[in-house]
Amino acid sequence: MTDKQTVVLILGSGPNVIASQDWPADWFDHIVVMNNAWRVRPDWNALVYPEDFPADRMPGAVTGDQKLVDASAFVPTQNHFGGFVYAGGTMAYTTAYWALSALRPTIMAFMGCDMVYPKTGKTHFYGTGTADPLRDDITLRDLGAKSARLALVAAEQGCACVNLSSDPSALLFPRARPDGLRKRRFSLDLDRARYAALREKEDTLGYHTPTGRYWEDVEKVDPNAVAALDQGWRDLFGQHAGT
């Protein structure tokens, strides 16, 4: 990793994302938000949102320093990194892969993206909402494995993924504090042979959906093959995290 860190803060809609309101903007190079998280702080740089995000929940205006990122931008990025079936079809991962490609960070730091939902009380910073990552979806049966894959794809590009939350989380990333990220150094050692073998296995299975609408071809996807891949990413991440 180079001495110059490029730190991207990625904000989801979990209840604890409110803590980020107190963090100075100069701790980060870019602040990327997804869906409703643009409401958390006004100095975001990019808002990533899906096709079905309600128009009345979009920001009323954006500044010249702010960018709206829709499917026309993030679907090609997901395809570049293997596609939604392998990456996980929920916005935390979609946003992260877009940021990894577009912003070339050396650190991606996540807050409000734990994807663990209480049975009572707030599920989102704005109250109670739909737990999208928990829907019945073949790409989301192992959220932890999808986070492992993201961390390893990022490591291959020279980027570390960290979780700024101290709450229970589906993300397997190491925990970190938001202050001082530029001075932190995270291990990026990667077993490139095992990594390449997993990516080759994905290519061989061929679960690619150029349109991004993977649910239209879900009958072609073998759940057991996806589960085996997920376990492979978990195993490799365990080796990577232990270095």
Residue 170 to residues 13, 74, 112, 133, 233: CA-CA distances in angstroms?
A: 14, 22, 11, 10, 14
Contacts of residue 242, Cβ cutoff 8 Å, sequence gap at least 6 = none
Model-level pTM greater than 0.85?
yes
Residue 239 to residues 40, 61, 213: CA-CA distances in angstroms?
A: 36, 45, 33
Give me the tens of pLDDT residue by residue for the chain, a chain 243 residues long: 446 789 999 999 999 999 999 999 999 999 999 999 999 999 999 999 999 999 999 999 999 999 999 999 999 999 999 999 999 999 999 999 999 999 999 999 999 999 988 777 788 878 777 766 767 788 889 999 999 999 999 999 999 999 999 999 999 999 999 998 988 888 778 999 999 999 999 999 999 888 888 888 888 899 999 999 999 999 999 987 665
